[in-house]
Amino acid sequence: MAVDGNKATAARTFKVPRLPGDIMIYPMIVGLLINTFCPQVLEIGGFFTAATRGGANAVVAAILLFVGAGISFKATPGAVKTGVVVLIPKLVLAAAMGLAVAWFFNDDLLGLSSVSIIGGISFCNMALYTGIMSEYGDEAEQGAVGILFLTAGPTVAMIILGVSGLASIPLGTVIGSVLPLVIGMVLGNCFPFVRDLLKPGANPAIAVLGFQLGCSMSLASFVTGGLSGILLGLVTVFVVGPVTCLFERLCGGTGKAAIACSTIAGTAMTTPAALVEVAPQYAAIAPVAYAQIATAVIVTALLAPILTGWFDKRFCQG
């Protein structure tokens, strides 16, 4: 009876272990496993399919609105500074490593090409960054996402590779992507009750976004992308992240935004195909680069929240 009682007690007291950024990681893992082993469930229809296959941009807009509601106007200059300080070294490293591979290694270093390196590292997963910073960042670090949006689309990669002017981001898209954050800031600063109403909505929305991101991933990407894709993800987190973190700290920041920014966005997978449209010579390596970037997206999405949480606890508390 005592043994049975102990088992019952253990069952009642079991808790899911907490991880840094687990508000996004656990839903992401669930979505990834569903999409890997039974993807047909995602096509069942109704609200479930709508929640998993569509509306990610709407959820990101909601997160920006909720985060913006908690940002005071006095934090705006700090947000611009943080965004610039984090963005510059990330782009410089992406360009330097990609062009070095193209010039000195015949565009093939351990399976990685300039397309996969520049097209991947230059992108920041802004949705994931927003989720991480809402848990670990201050107002300036959260608001920096407006600057990080400048890496969206394949334009940066094309410019770095010398194909400038062929793919530009419309001004309206830039404004529209930052507008939810601005509206949230205005409402939160002008109406305290609205701030109190909106601010708590960030975490639930982040969990939904994590599930959506997971439903767009698959373990099959690891097989296709192989070790080179995993290498790309590790380089992004453990090389680009620390260097950018050091630069941010030298500029007076905490370094957390740099680590949270050491990710690759899922939209980076559009770069190889877009590049082929304007530079057909990349057609042969585009499929491989696509698979490598897809693998790196998963690697960075899992590691960045954990490392940001560890860094916050180890170097930023107190």
Note the pLDDT of residue 124: 81
Residue 8 or residue 47, greater confidence: 47
Q: Is the pLDDT of residue 99 over 70?
A: yes
Percent of all residues in the chain with a pLDDT value above 90, rounded to a whole number:
1
Q: If pLDDT is split at 50, 70 and 90, which confidence band does 234 have?
A: very high
Note the pLDDT of residue 318: 59
Note the pLDDT of residue 105: 83
With tokens 């107002």, the residue in question is: 139
- pTM (predicted TM-score): 0.64
Give the three-class secondary structure for 107. coil
> What is the mean pLDDT of the segment spanning 295-317?
83
11 contact partners, CB below 8 Å, separation of at least 6: none
Q: If pLDDT is split at 50, 70 and 90, which confidence band does 165 have?
A: very low
Q: Is the pLDDT of residue 26 over 60?
A: yes
Residues present in the chain in total? 318
CA angle 49, 52, 56 (to 5 degrees): 125
CA angle 129, 132, 133 (to 5 degrees): 85
